[in-house]
Amino acid sequence: MAALAPAIAGLAPFFTLLEAVLAIVEFVKAVASLNPVQIAAAIDKFVQTTDKLLGIVPQLSIPLLIYGLLGLLVDFLDVLVEYIQELEEHQQQIQTMKNYALSENLPELLESALCLEDNLDTQIAYFNNALGAMGAFLALVKVLGDFIGLSIDVDIETSGSLSEVVDQLEDIRDTLKAIKEAIPLP
């Protein structure tokens, strides 16, 4: 049954539309019966169904989409900040290892520290590439924001020290959180 869940989830808009059509039919029948109790119940059901329809109407679902995308970005930035802080900590540990190796004249330890430093530099380069890709994602969010009259103007600059990147990402995260909360939801 769990394997069917994704397939059934894709049919949710169809079932929502079907439910709306059935609510309209029920409303028409209630009006034809002239029974005020049936009419009130049919109106209530129709209003509930209309709320569900708002989630699948494109013009009204764009704010929901942007809200979800911004939530995803904020969570992603939280993870990135933690990752960068770990990279910074590793940098400090490697520097301590190098200093100790030099002060104690331990060439093997120094060689290991330099190897670790090369690996860390490679991780930082991969990280910078990931931030570049996130810039494209932010551009998409900007375009979608324009649809609902929301100015989303944030850019990522990957140059500088890791702590500068952390500060910048935290500022962007806070800005995106504020924008997310300002989105008019239907």
**What pLDDT, in 10s, does the model give residues 96-140?**
999 999 999 999 999 999 999 999 999 888 877 777 777 777 777
Q: Which of 117, 113, 92, 89 is nearest to 102 (CA)?
A: 113
Which of 33, 56, 79 is the last residue before a domain boundary?
Answer: 56
pTM higher than the cut 0.75: no
The full DSSP string for 69-94 is: HHHHHHHHHHHHHHHHHHHHHHHHHH
> How much is the average pLDDT of 11-22?
76
Which of 56, 86, 101 is the last residue before a domain boundary?
Answer: 56
Same domain, yes or no: 14 and 85: no
Residue 56 tokens read as 């699948």
Same domain, yes or no: 51 and 90: no
Model confidence pLDDT, tens digit, residues 34-74: 777 787 788 788 778 777 776 666 655 677 777 888 888 88
Exposure pattern of 41-73 as b/e (b: 16+ CB <10 Å)? Answer: ebeebbeebeebeeeeeeeeebbeebbebbeeb
Q: Which residue has better confidence, 70 or 3? A: 70
Total number of domains in the chain:
2
For residues 157 and 151, the answer to whether their CB atoms sit within 8 Å is: no
**Domain limits for position 12:** 2-56
